[in-house]
Amino acid sequence: MASRANIYIDKGCDFRTTIELFNEVGTDYSASEIAVYNFYSGIKKVYSDSTSIVNFTIETSNNDITLVLTDTQTDSIKPGKYQYDVIMQKQTGERSKIVEGLAFVVDTVTEVS
């Protein structure tokens, strides 16, 4: 069963959030160990939508993955409540949902030109 975590995304701003994958006490996984997995993540208005509004770029480092959106990507999303999840795929093809939740896109007041 996937963990639940809600995220808040500021419209028109860069977004980054890090998820610790392997949190066993006293264990450090090398970059090569995490590199054997593929990660996928997107945002939809509802799970039943056929396509994502936007897909996260996923960076990996040691025990963590970081979900990343550029300011251009966040600017293209209307403020509101969305669904997101992160899928981890092993080399064997086995897929697991590791985190899911709500993504709240919040409008910004300040305009940057």
In this prediction, residue 111 carries a pLDDT of 79
Please give the Cα distance from 46 to 102 (Å, whole number): 10
- Strand pairing report for 64-69 and 3-4: unpaired
The model's pLDDT over 23-71, given as tens digits with 9 standing for 90+, comes to: 655 555 555 567 788 999 999 999 899 999 999 999 988 778 999 999 9
Token pair, residue 38, equals: 């593929």
Domain 3-106 has CATH 3.30.1130.10: no
Q: Where are the domains of the chain?
A: 3-106
Looking at the chain, the number of H-run helices and the number of E-run strands are 2, 9
In this prediction, residue 14 carries a pLDDT of 97
